[in-house]
């Protein structure tokens, strides 16, 4: 963004479509005077080959402002994106939506990358079954500390497994990145939860384990 934002008029809205949390806030803090919006989507897509893009699941997309000036652009941005045929909704308080997506990504993506399997296969895998309850206990504590939302670890596990089963044949973005030799989003998914734990004095051993193990999949690329 450092490279191309200087060439774009300052009143042009910028919409960030990214998994995880942390990177969006960095952008908003770096350019607070620009209309920075962020999106959260449940659409599914993957790229099995460089020149092939598969739309693997229909979902919903929410768009909301991160900077003060972005509020004036939300409705027009939603209308323009909706012309694509996607179901797009305005969401003035977008951060809780990002957390909802973060919870699911944190409970699925790293496991699919480590096991090299589609989403649905994780729920019976020993690594997942041995660690998911601890992971959900950590996330529940982090959610309450960071957002005030109270949710039980069991409810989080049920949410994660419902998504894993409903997208059973899908390949997560993290698994795709590992297989393609690209940097993963681990630092902004489970890694963000580790940082959140450090800010709030909450131990996150399962999230730390997942971050470290995913990083070892691409030790040279990930450290760039």
Summarize pLDDT for 74-85 with one digit per residue, the tens.
999 999 999 999
Domain ranges of the chain: 5-93, 96-217
pLDDT at residue 45, as a whole number: 81
> Tokens standing for 135?
């992971």
66-125 pLDDT tens trace: 999 999 999 999 999 999 999 999 999 999 999 999 999 999 999 999 999 999 999 999
When pLDDT is cut at 50, 70 and 90, the band that residue 224 belongs to is: very low
Higher pLDDT, 221 or 182: 182
Predicted TM-score (pTM) above 0.75 = yes
Q: Residue count of the chain, please give it.
A: 224
The arithmetic mean of pLDDT across residues 139-156, rounded, is 96
Q: Are 138 and 210 in contact (CB under 8 A)?
A: no
Query: Which CATH number applies to 96-217?
Result: 1.10.1040.10
Q: Does 54 score more than 90 pLDDT?
A: no
221 among known catalytic residues: no
Beta-carbon contacts of 138 under 8 Å, excluding residues fewer than 6 positions away, are 193, 197, 202, 203, 204, 205, 206, 207
Q: Does 223 score more than 80 pLDDT?
A: no
One of 3.40.50.720, 3.40.50.300, 2.30.40.10, 3.30.70.260 is the CATH number of 5-93, namely 3.40.50.720
Q: Which residue out of 34, 101, 157, 175 is catalytically annotated?
A: 101
Same fold flag, 5-93 and 96-217: no
């Amino acid at each position: 963004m450092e490279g191309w934002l200087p060439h774009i008029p300052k009143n042009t809205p910028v919409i960030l479509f990214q998994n995880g949390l942390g990177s969006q806030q960095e952008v908003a803090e770096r350019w607070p005077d620009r209309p920075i919006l962020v999106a959260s989507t449940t659409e599914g897509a993957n790229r099995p080959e460089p020149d092939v893009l598969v739309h693997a699941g229909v979902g919903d997309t929410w768009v909301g402002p991160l900077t003060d000036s972005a509020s004036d652009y939300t409705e027009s941005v939603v209308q323009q994106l909706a012309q694509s045929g996607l179901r797009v909704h305005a969401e003035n308080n977008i951060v809780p939506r990002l957390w909802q997506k973060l919870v699911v990504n944190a409970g699925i993506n790293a496991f699919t990358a480590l096991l090299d399997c589609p989403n649905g296969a994780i729920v019976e895998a020993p690594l997942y079954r041995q660690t998911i309850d601890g992971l959900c206990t950590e996330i529940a504590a982090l959610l309450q500390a960071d957002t005030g939302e109270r949710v039980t670890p069991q409810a989080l596990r049920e949410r994660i497994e419902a998504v894993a089963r409903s997208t059973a044949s899908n390949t997560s973005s993290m698994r795709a990145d590992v297989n393609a030799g690209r940097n993963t989003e681990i630092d902004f998914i489970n890694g963000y939860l580790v940082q959140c734990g450090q800010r709030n004095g909450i131990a996150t051993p399962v999230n730390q384990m997942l971050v470290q193990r995913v990083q070892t999949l691409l030790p040279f690329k990930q450290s760039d």
